[in-house]
Amino acid sequence: MFAYKTARVFVVPALRQRPLNQGHMLVLPTSHVARLSELEPLLLQELYTVAGRVSIAVRQAFGATGATLFQNDDAPDQILSHVHIHVIPRRTGDQFKLPDSNKLEMSRKELEEQASVLRQTLA
């Protein structure tokens, strides 16, 4: 369930999200790349251009006042060994922190709804 896709980059809702940060998206390259340092410059540029567009769209799509972006690169306990940028909608008083054990696994229906809302916002 893609929220957005180009030939080289795609966006999907994160499987686990904080209750106060619904609409958390992941921006990933379509080709497998494990580390940011392995990305060729044009793909790196496209990845962050899409992440920037998504950071603006999550505000409108999910009623956020801002967004936090971060990228894991071989972080301890990292589950996804593929370059990805987190785009997390932020709201006043959301008490955002890393790491956060209060993440909840989203249902397929919730993920599909989030992808649809963001897709419409980006259109």
Q: Which domain holds residue 19?
A: 4-122
Strand positions, DSSP E, the chain: 4-5, 9-13, 16-17, 25-29, 66-71, 85-90, 104-105
Each residue's pLDDT tens digit, 23-55: 999 999 999 998 888 999 999 999 999 999 999
Query: In this structure, which amino acid lies at residue 31?
Result: S
Q: How many domains does the chain have?
A: 1
Q: Which two tokens stand for residue 55?
A: 């950071």
CB 14 within 8 A of CB 7: no
Each residue's pLDDT tens digit, 76-103: 666 667 899 999 999 999 988 877 777 8
Residue carrying the six token digits 């390259």:
29
CATH of the domain at 33: 3.30.428.10
